[in-house]
Amino acid sequence: LKKVSSIILVTTMVLWLLLNFPQHSESEMRAQGVDTSSDVAKTSYVLDNSYAASIGKAVEPVFAPLGFDWRINIGLVSSLAAREVFVATLGQVAAASNPEEPAKALAEMTVLDGPRKGQELFSAATIAALLMFFAFALQCMSTVGVLRRETGTWRWPLIAFGYMFVLAWVAAFIAYRVVGAFV
């Protein structure tokens, strides 16, 4: 339990750094049309232009068919350390949008780009896809490490990770389409 807690703590701290850097000057923000008198506007700009956002946007083509945007993708990538980190990640992303009421901000997040622009991010279809993805994905790297140690080779851990990722993606895709068709 101590080891898992340490992994979650370290991952959350690294995630905070990725969500808050690089730093942006107020003059740069003003040049981009950001209302620098609003802390929420400044924080949102920093989040949208952070290293974490860059990572989330880089994997977006893989996860967009599941209804996930870069903010959810940040959580998926961070959960490679431990699944529990996904919740902390979404909490930090929501707190950047509304530090006073992060739970409300999370519930009110909307899709920023694409054909679903303006619709709620956490629709029933997206939530179903997330549940299916987490049910099947072999995401915890410590599990991959144990497989490596037990098998003495990287072959089986990589096969297991790839197979479980594809299975999770397909299950999430089906869930997203089926639930989306009925809701």
Instruction: Name the nearest CA neighbour of 160 among 1, 150, 82, 54.
Output: 150
Distance of CA 180 to the CA centre of its chain: 21
Between 26-30, 37-41, 51-55, 169-173, the lowest mean confidence (pLDDT) is in 37-41
For the segment 168-181, the average pLDDT, to the nearest whole number, is: 98
pTM of the entire predicted model: 0.86
**Is the pLDDT confidence value at 160 over 80?**
yes
Q: Stretch 85-97: mean pLDDT, rounded?
A: 84
Question: Which residue, among 70, 69, 64, 79, has the nearest Cα to 50 in the 3D structure?
Answer: 70
Domain ranges (residues) in the chain: 1-111, 123-183
Which runs of consecutive H residues, i.e. helices, occur in the chain? 2-20, 26-31, 39-48, 51-58, 60-63, 70-78, 85-97, 102-108, 124-136, 141-151, 155-182
